[in-house]
């Protein structure tokens, strides 16, 4: 008798019966849709998938995913994710956080999960504001941001999440936009395929407290001229007719924007994206969105290395083989002990 083929899952199979409770028009709805589609596309097993979040609007995510999930405490989602992955390395772990939860109170935990290269996917929703607690400025808010906690304008310089991830030792860094339903699933699938910590920054619009903060590069009227979607091995071009490009200046020390037609150049003169080049990734994230430069999207850096959970598992297996009959009580009493009467 022939075995029946397993049912192919769809995005709806990853949706729960819980009412999705974000503000109408919030970018989180689009991200949720893209994640559910991605899991169906990659044929993820709901019973082997875990979503872990901290605190914030983005952190309601586990309620809406028909997988296992933990809604944990402020900033500590990376610590919980580390424990889950080490306890069961076969689980597919996704970490959902925001710019405040992940880069302020959770900045230290984020740094260590990246440098350790734990095998999980980190989705950082960046709306440059604290949405859940009613609009205070966040680590990624721009100087001059007026908010309940900075009524006359923030005087802090803003944190660049992608640059932070690179500096922390992340081996996979990508960016996408909440409303980009065409390309976001592909970026998320690449993050999932990467063995190690995958850091994906998602520009997400907070329609209530920071509406249209990314309009200068997300509005349809300007998107083509204000965005670069990177592809490994391809010339870095942008514009409605790919009339603009990025090239290295003489000496390869900086990057510059060029107009191919006006300057008599071809794509052979342009920078070719190499996602394994750490220096290039650093240059790209630092010029991204600055005066005269478009915002860099897609996979910026991908250079796999052995993951933390794999190394720990190997270490545990070696210890078990060396002492197959180890006794826990003997271990605890192996050093100096004291008896208190």
User: Is residue 296 a part of any domain in this protein?
Assistant: no
What whole-number distance in Å separates Cα of residue 273 and Cα of residue 292? Answer: 19
What whole-number distance in Å separates Cα of residue 174 and Cα of residue 193? Answer: 13
pLDDT for the residue 3: 60
Diameter over CA atoms, the chain = 89
User: Is residue 219 a part of any domain in this protein?
Assistant: no
Q: Return the H-helix or E-strand segment holding 93.
A: strand 92-98
Contact between 67 and 51 under an 8 Å Cβ cutoff? The reply is yes
User: Is residue 315 a part of any domain in this protein?
Assistant: no
User: Is residue 28 a part of any domain in this protein?
Assistant: yes
What whole-number distance in Å separates Cα of residue 162 and Cα of residue 200? Answer: 8
Label residue 251 left, alpha or beta by phi (over 0 means left) and psi (-120 to 50 means alpha).
Answer: left
User: Is residue 91 a part of any domain in this protein?
Assistant: yes
CATH code of the domain in which 20 resides: 3.40.50.970
User: Is residue 114 a part of any domain in this protein?
Assistant: yes
Contact between 20 and 32 under an 8 Å Cβ cutoff? The reply is yes
- From the CA atom positions of the chain, what is the Rg in Å? 22
Sites in the chain below the pLDDT cut of 70: 1-5
Domain that holds residue 197: 11-213
What order of strands is seen across the sheet that includes strand 92-98?
Answer: 68-71, 49-53, 92-98, 120-126, 197-203, 172-177, 295-302, 227-230
Residue 266 corresponds to which tokens in the numbers above?
Answer: 């071809």
What whole-number distance in Å separates Cα of residue 60 and Cα of residue 101? Answer: 12
User: Is residue 204 a part of any domain in this protein?
Assistant: yes
Closest-CA residue to 23 (of 205, 196, 176, 181)? 205
User: Is residue 134 a part of any domain in this protein?
Assistant: yes
Residue 92 corresponds to which tokens in the numbers above?
Answer: 């597919």
pLDDT for the residue 330: 85
pLDDT for the residue 211: 97
pLDDT for the residue 250: 78
pLDDT for the residue 115: 98
Closest-CA residue to 65 (of 115, 150, 123, 104)? 123
Q: How many residues are present in the chain?
A: 341
First to last CA, the chain: 71
What whole-number distance in Å separates Cα of residue 20 and Cα of residue 13? Answer: 15
* Number of domain units in the chain: 1
């Amino acid at each position: 008798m022939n075995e029946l083929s397993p049912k192919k899952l769809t995005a709806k199979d990853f949706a729960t019966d819980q009412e999705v409770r974000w503000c109408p028009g919030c970018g989180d709805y689009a991200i949720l849709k893209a994640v559910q589609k991605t899991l169906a596309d990659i044929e993820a097993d709901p019973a082997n998938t875990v979503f872990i979040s901290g605190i914030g609007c983005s952190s309601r995510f586990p309620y809406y995913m028909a997988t296992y999930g933990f809604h944990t405490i402020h900033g500590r989602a990376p610590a919980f994710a580390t424990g889950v992955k080490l306890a069961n390395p076969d689980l597919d772990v996704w970490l959902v956080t925001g710019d405040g939860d992940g880069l302020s109170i959770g900045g230290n935990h984020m740094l260590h999960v990246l440098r350790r290269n734990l095998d999980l996917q980190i989705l950082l929703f960046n709306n440059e504001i604290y949405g859940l607690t009613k609009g205070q400025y966040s680590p990624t808010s721009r100087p001059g941001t007026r908010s309940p906690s900075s009524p006359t304008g923030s005087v802090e310089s803003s944190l660049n999440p992608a640059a932070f991830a690179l500096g922390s030792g992340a081996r996979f860094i990508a960016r996408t936009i909440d409303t980009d339903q065409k390309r976001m699933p592909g970026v998320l699938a690449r993050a999932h395929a990467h063995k190690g910590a995958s850091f994906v920054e998602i520009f997400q619009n907070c329609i209530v407290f920071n509406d249209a903060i990314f309009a200068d590069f997300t509005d349809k009227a300007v998107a083509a001229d204000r965005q670069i979607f990177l592809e490994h091995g391809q010339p870095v071009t942008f514009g409605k007719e790919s009339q603009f490009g990025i090239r290295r200046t003489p000496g390869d020390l900086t990057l510059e924007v060029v107009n191919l037609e006006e300057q008599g150049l071809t794509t052979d003169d342009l920078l070719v994206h190499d996602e394994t080049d750490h220096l290039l990734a650093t240059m790209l994230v630092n010029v991204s969105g600055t005066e005269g430069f478009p915002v860099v999207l897609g996979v910026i850096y991908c250079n796999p290395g052995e993951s933390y959970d794999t190394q720990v598992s190997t270490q545990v297996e070696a210890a078990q083989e060396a002492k197959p009959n180890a006794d826990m009580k003997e271990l605890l009493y192996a050093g100096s002990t004291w008896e208190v009467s």
